[in-house]
Amino acid sequence: MPRSLWLLVMGMLINVTGASFLWPLNTIYIHDHLGKSLSMAGIVLMLNAGASVIGNLLGGVLFDKIGGYKSILLGILITLSALITLVFFQEWPLYIFLLVVIGLGSGIVFPAMYAMGGTVWPEGGRKAFNALYVAQNAGVALGSALGGLVASYSFSYIFIANAVMYVVFFLIAVFSYHKMSAEKAKQVSVLDEMSLVQNKAKFQALLTLCGGYLLCWVAYSQWASTISVYTQELHISLKQYSFLWTINGLIIVLGQPMINAFIKVAAKTLKVQILLGITIFIASFAIISVAQQFSHFLAAMIVLTIGEMFVWPAVPTIASVLAPKGREGFYQGVVNSTATGGRMIGPLIGGILADYYNMNILFYVLIGFLVISMFTTIAYNRKLNKAKHLDMAAGAVS
């Protein structure tokens, strides 16, 4: 890899490590330290995710208008201003506002970094994005492990550590990223793209697939919201809970080659790959529904992570196969928006079910969502045109 991409990878690692000090513990802090309900915690996390969606859209526009360097610096400065404020002021409702600002700023950074990764090493193809993806998961593992350790002493140290990591990220960006040039791409709005969708059957297939994808993310998001509080009620320490996310990141970073080898043998098509992954998701939540001690949650997280490695990469790949020529970006945008939507509404749905019913009811509902997502996966390409050129595309994903 070129030196410029290594610098982006390093920045991504530090960025996500800092963010991972806080995000797995947000619900615990809102519920246990600020005394708010799980429903309210879900609303706050939804606002944070919504701000990230706006930040992502804004980051893409800014990248095209002013370049990656200035876009990344702007996002870092917005986030850093909120993080520094959070070090000194953590009261309610200011906490909500600061989390929204953090979501906006970090949302600007991510698309700019990925876009720069593609431009500094265009001949690398997927390798540039894979390197950033691995760095992101390594940051999740490292930050979650350190976050639980730091929080066991004081939650205030979490905010300090997060701010310090972002200062380091800022310095790397200031002194390294200004030398990177990026070609400006044509900015196309979603409404423009909607009018250009030429194959309704393929687009309907994508929407059907993404309906199940959304439900998978609603279930997955509970691990950073309702399940985090549930572990505290069972007297599982913050160190242990954060260690679960460390395991998640390590398995993704180290286990991908083995999963890829298994998929080649056991999953001949992407549809089968997704169905296997969702089945593994269901097994994970079945374990959680009877979990009473840390070892149970550890087993459930390992199973969940394996399922994640089946499902998450497969859906964008199918979108790429379904996308008509010249519409690849729009189809990928639909997939990314679906995942963010699941992360937005998941904590709210989970918080309401946990507050008004109980955790077991929540787990049963989540398993029901996952079963529905299996049906949408089975049915998504049923209406595709049987013409030869479309049949070949459908065969690759059926």
The Cα–Cα gap between 345 and 217 comes to: 9
Residue 259 is encoded by which pair of tokens? 């999963």
The Cα–Cα gap between 379 and 398 comes to: 9
Residue-wise DSSP of 238-299? HHHHHHHHHHHHHHHHHHHHHHHHHHHHH-SSHHHHHHHHHHHHHHHHHHHHT--SHHHHHH
The Cα–Cα gap between 32 and 152 comes to: 14
Q: Which residue carries 């929407």 as its tokens?
A: 207
Cβ atoms within 10 Å of 113's Cβ, excluding its own: 25
Q: Which sign does the torsion angle of CA 107, 1, 179, 125 carry? A: negative
* The pLDDT value given to residue 188: 43
Q: Please state whether the peptide bond connecting residue 316 to the residue before it is cis, i.e. omega within 30 degrees of 0.
A: no
Angle between helices 359-379 and 328-356 (to 10 degrees): 150
**Burial track 132-149 (b if 16+ CB lie within 10 A, e otherwise):** bbbbbbbbbbbbbbbbbb
Separation of first and last alpha carbons in the chain: 35
The Cα–Cα gap between 350 and 372 comes to: 17
pLDDT digit of tens for each residue in the chain (398 aa)? Answer: 777 888 888 888 888 888 877 766 777 778 877 788 877 887 887 888 888 878 877 776 777 778 788 888 999 999 999 989 988 887 888 888 888 998 888 888 877 777 677 677 666 545 666 677 678 777 877 777 777 777 777 777 888 888 888 899 999 888 888 777 544 444 444 444 444 444 678 888 989 999 999 999 999 989 988 898 898 889 888 778 878 887 887 888 788 778 878 888 887 788 999 999 999 999 999 999 999 999 999 999 999 999 988 888 788 778 777 877 655 546 666 777 788 788 888 888 998 898 889 899 999 999 999 999 999 999 888 877 553 344 444 445 55
The Cα–Cα gap between 129 and 395 comes to: 26
3-state secondary structure of 398: coil
Indicate the DSSP class of residue 387: S
| Residue 153: exposure state from Cβ atoms within 10 A (0-12, 13-18, ≥19) | exposed
Residue 210 is encoded by which pair of tokens? 């993404």
Give me the torsion for CA of 369, 107, 68, 74, rounded to 10°. Answer: 180
CB of 64 closer than 8 Å to CB of 187: yes
* The pLDDT value given to residue 48: 84
Residue 153 is encoded by which pair of tokens? 């002493």
Angle between helices 270-289 and 238-266 (to 10 degrees): 150
| Alpha-carbon distances, residue 288 vs 3, 24, 350 (angstroms) | 44, 17, 14
* The pLDDT value given to residue 298: 95
Q: Which residues contact 172 (CB under 8 A, 6 or more apart)?
A: 7, 10, 11, 14
